[in-house]
A and B are shown apart, each in its own frame.
Chain A
Amino acid sequence: MFLINCPYCGERDQSEFVSGGEAHIVRPKQPTELNDDQWAEYLFMRKNIKGIQFERWNHAHGCRKWFNVARDTSNDKIEKIYKIGEQPPKL
């Protein structure tokens, strides 16, 4: 339970948002050339970090836009919010 400062709408309750999970997982450029291990890595394997994790969020009950969040999963404190396409901040 925490507040998220949507870069488009401002600060709202977390329940307005949907978590999109780990960010910066790049879609394979040549999917046909991937072997099974690489597919498993892309589809299923997650860092699931205890600490600062970079993740995607969607303001589902608001502007419906996606953006990135750097959040400490050990205390739910949001360190940084940045837009889709931007590189993860150094924290």
Chain B
Amino acid sequence: MKNKYSIFSLIKNAFSNHENWQRAWRDPEPKKEYDAVIVGGGGHGLATAYYLAKKHNLTNIAVVEKGWIGGGNTGRNTTIIRSNYLWDASAGLYDHALKIWEGLSQELNYNLMFSQRGVMNLAHNLQDVRDLKRRTHANRLNGIDAVWLETSEVKKFCPIINTSQDIRYPVLGGTLQRRAGTARHDAVAWGYARGADEMGVDIIQNCEVKGIKRNGDTVEGIETTRGFIKTKKIGVVAAGHSSVIANMAGLKLPLESKPLQALVSEPVKPIIDTVVMSNAVHAYVSQSDKGELVIGAGTDSYVSYTQKGSFNIVEETLKAILELYPIFSRMKMLRQWGGIVDICPDASPIISKTSIKGLYFNCGWGTGGFKATPGSGDLFAHTIANDEPHKLNAAFNINRFVSGDLVDEHGAAAVAH
């Protein structure tokens, strides 16, 4: 049983110089066999394991991670959470996640620093205005909070935005989802890991999958750098490396993996208390609790697994940021990094069974997976446990690329997906 985190445990541990905190999760040796194995110890994978144990009583399971948990895209994103998607299927999926976020810190007894500071999406031309207004209507029909703001209301909500009509891409208005916001990304992985570990899930780090053993159309186990693990069910949640794992099983996925960049500035006093995104000029910014501006840039146009990204992508984003926020002109950027995102042709995820029995994929989240972490884990756990999708992820099956029933959020999402 894990000790409960509270103000009292914080005070108590302060007296022993914080040297006696209980381990948040074990570091077990892999067993010979599990009922299910999750490949990938990021937020989505750990959430999947947590819900498999919690809601489906599958506790003889393991999460295998080639590095350390939360060290991939979970630790590399810009932590934005929102659910203002256009299509019904996406709205259902992302709002399911948002609803779980709202009570997750309490459920996990782990402070995720979930902050519903609102996400504003800006319109810079007439087509943006039409598209974003249409999206607010679609959101509200799906029970998702969304409002349209005129330029003066945008300025009132976020006073540092340059709303001059003389700039190259003037602000013609925007949408606001007040329930949207940010969370502490590492805490999500750690909170789910602690919760899953408590229910008996083995979290095995530094364990890279090298092969998937099949007997005809059924999986038998995985070859790893720490030996063979026998299992009947494998849930792959490997983000940018999904195709690499799929290739081991002889599958091809409709994915391309590309570097997506983000950067943070030096820390400053509170200046922006919301998240502002702009699709047309591709710039989005929020401020972390440490005071850094967190800025999201775009993806490179080519396939790469280098976790770096090109300079010109960062340059374009910063140009746009400076035009919209002249007040940032003398700030220094502190760090820049890239994460490898797996992008589907329709910019929607895949949470699905495959043609191989016992092999499940949760991938294709592209540039916007962090926000979905709890919902993705919940629905993927349901899919693995029942060998059938939940009604909320039925549309996100892999067969949609054969049937043509795509969930085309590429042009519809609030920002470059």
Q: Which residues of A are in contact with B by a Cβ distance under 8 Å? A: 1, 14-15, 18-19, 21-22, 36-37, 39-41, 43-50, 53, 55, 73-76
Query: B247 contacts which of A18, A47, A74 (Cβ < 8 Å)?
Result: A47
- Report, as a range, how many residues of chain B touch the other chain: 20 to 34
- Of B80-88, B309-317, B323-331, the stretch lying at the interface with chain A is B309-317
Partner of B303, one of A43, A45, A53: A53
Instruction: List B contacts of A46 (CB < 8 A).
Output: 243, 252-256
Interface string of B291-321 (1 = CB under 8 A from A): 0000000000111111011111000000000
Is B106 part of the contact surface with A, judged by Cβ < 8 Å?
Answer: no
Q: Are B304 and A44 in contact (CB-based, < 8 A)?
A: no
Chain B, range 228-269, C-beta contacts under 8 Å to A: 241, 243-244, 247, 252-257
Q: A19-B302, A53-B303, A73-B303 are in contact. Are A45 and B252 (CB under 8 A)?
A: yes
Which chain B positions have C-beta within 8 A of A76?
Answer: 304, 306, 308
B79 to chain A, nearest CB (A): 25
- What are 6 A-B pairs at a CB distance below 8 A? A14-B302, A19-B301, A40-B254, A48-B342, A49-B247, A75-B306
B1 at the interface (CB under 8 A from A): no
Q: Which residues of A contact B404 (CB under 8 A)?
A: 36
* Majority SS at the chain A contact face: mixed
**Given A1-B311, A15-B312, A48-B306 contact (CB < 8 Å):** no
Q: Which of B303, B310, B402 contacts A48 (CB 8 A)?
A: B303
A55 contacts which chain B residues (CB < 8 A)?
302-303
A22 to B256, CA, bound (A): 10
Given B247, B255, B402, which contacts A37 in the complex, CB threshold below 8 Å? B402
Would you call B254 and A45 a contact (CB within 8 A)?
A: yes
Known: A15-B310, A37-B402, A50-B244. A73 touches B255 (CB 8 A): no
A85 to chain B, nearest CB (A): 21
| Residue B118, interface by CB 8 Å | no
Q: Chain A residues with Cβ under 8 A from B255's Cβ? A: 46, 48
- CB-based contact B310/A1 at 8 Å: yes
Taking A45-B254, A46-B255 as known contacts, 10 extra A-B pairs with beta carbons closer than 8 A to each other, sorted by chain A number, are A1-B310, A18-B301, A43-B345, A44-B254, A45-B252, A46-B252, A48-B253, A49-B247, A50-B243, A76-B304
Instruction: Answer whether A74 and B306 are a contact pair too, CB < 8 Å, given A36-B402, A48-B243.
Output: yes
- A47 contacts which chain B residues (CB < 8 A)? 243, 247, 252
Give every chain A residue within 8 A of B386 (Cβ-Cβ).
none
Best-surrounded residue of B247, B252, B345, B403 (most CB of chain A within 10 A): B252
Report how far A43 CA is from B256 CA in the complex, Å.
13
Which A residues are CB-close (under 8 A) to B301? 18-19
